[in-house]
Amino acid sequence: VDVENYISYLHTTISEKTGKPMSYNNQRNCLDRFKTVIRWCQLHRPDDVPITEIFTGNEYTGVNRKLKIDFIPDDVVAQINEALKTEENPYLKYGIIILQSTGMRIGDLLKLRIDCIKPHLISGYTIEWVQHKGRKNKAPMPVRSECVAAIEKLVEITKDLRDEADEKDKNTLMIRRVPVGKGAGKVMNLNSVSFNNWFKKFIKDNDIKDANGDYYNLTSHQFRRTLGTDMLSKGTNINVIQQVLGHTDASVTKRFYADVKDKERAEVFKSVGVIGNINQIQSNAFDNVSEFEWFKANKDKCVAGLCDGYCTKPVTDGNICPRLLKRQKCYTCSRYITTPEYLD
């Protein structure tokens, strides 16, 4: 009953910061913190909390559940890597290279040590770091030469700053002199807020857009999901990916971090006549002007009987298209027009 009352309280609370109801994610995070306290007490102070399960497990699921794994598309990765060639912010530039190569969390990147690279016994190099979420050391992992070079560059750039840094930050890789604000002029460890702001500026400055033409919403965690997805798409065993990403359970890796890029499906959709905004269809999508005029006049009436798109030629020689009648494979027909939000 207390848990249900707390959830009701979260639903009805107005945020002091925004003056609006708390967001779905914020409500879920608050309940997750409460769950953590209860779980800890069940282990260490069992007399103070109920031993029986008091959470249903589905208090905040379903409403905003993602239907697909949020990895960075190949075309966006290509744009990012091209933009890195001219990026002047060394922390962002080399940080992205490290994230791409290792799939580490942003918190682990910001606490990375200058001695994290070690020579491999046979050839090349390995990288080691502390996985702060699981409170354990990551087993040495082979790493590409680009990542090694990025870390060496950061060590070189921050070398003169280490004398001024606090004792706890002297061997941390990501330190810089604060340019403005409360600690201006002081040498401090970087924080995730700076990185998130740099990501947004990087995307806008380099005009990196997604398939819909919007600025791509880049986050540090997407590099983890992209690495897992790339490995799985190349046939890597899920347990190997689990070890690389440092998950305790392979089911977590499979559900949230590794997907298969379906090249055949992508090729099929490339061959579809037009995919885009239905109101911006050009006349070259049609065989002749009269068909284009008919489409413009009828597109808002959904004349083809399809709730998720339009057929530019539902009738041929007086006969209704058999695909249309059977609702089969319209997505792969060059006469069919839809918009990305309807596609899987």
pLDDT digits (tens, 9 = 90+) for 76-88: 999 999 999 999 9
> Closest by alpha carbon to 108, among 128, 126, 132?
132
From residue 37, how far is each of 40, 44, 132, 138, 282 by CA, in Å? 5, 10, 19, 27, 58
Q: How would DSSP label each residue in 152-208?
A: HHHHHHTGGGTTTS-GGGTTBSSEEE--SSTTTT-EEE--HHHHHHHHHHHHHHTT-
> Looking at per-residue confidence, does 119 or 69 come out higher?
119
pLDDT digits (tens, 9 = 90+) for 216-247: 999 999 999 999 888 887 778 888 888 888 88
For residue 320, which amino acid is it? I
pLDDT at 343: 59
Q: What's the predicted TM-score (pTM) here?
A: 0.60
Mean pLDDT (the chain) is 81
- 67-81, 130-144, 285-299, 300-314: segment of lowest average pLDDT: 300-314
C-alpha–C-alpha distance, residues 196 and 185, integer Å: 21
pLDDT at 21: 86
Looking at the DSSP bridge assignments, the partners of residue 130 are 137
> Looking at per-residue confidence, does 339 or 38 come out higher?
38
**Does the 74-257 domain belong in CATH 1.10.443.10?**
yes
pLDDT at 24: 83
- 10-14, 21-25, 227-231, 274-278: segment of lowest average pLDDT: 274-278
pLDDT at 64: 44
pLDDT at 67 over 50: no
C-alpha–C-alpha distance, residues 221 and 296, integer Å: 43
> Closest by alpha carbon to 188, among 198, 176, 179?
176
pLDDT at 87: 94
* Helix H or strand E segment including 289: helix 289-298
pLDDT category at 201 given cuts 50, 70, 90 is very high
> Looking at per-residue confidence, does 54 or 44 come out higher?
44
pLDDT category at 303 given cuts 50, 70, 90 is very low
pLDDT at 317 over 80: no
pLDDT category at 263 given cuts 50, 70, 90 is low
Per-domain boundaries in the chain: 1-65, 74-257, 266-342
pLDDT at 276: 59
pLDDT digits (tens, 9 = 90+) for 98-131: 999 999 999 999 999 999 999 988 888 999 998 8
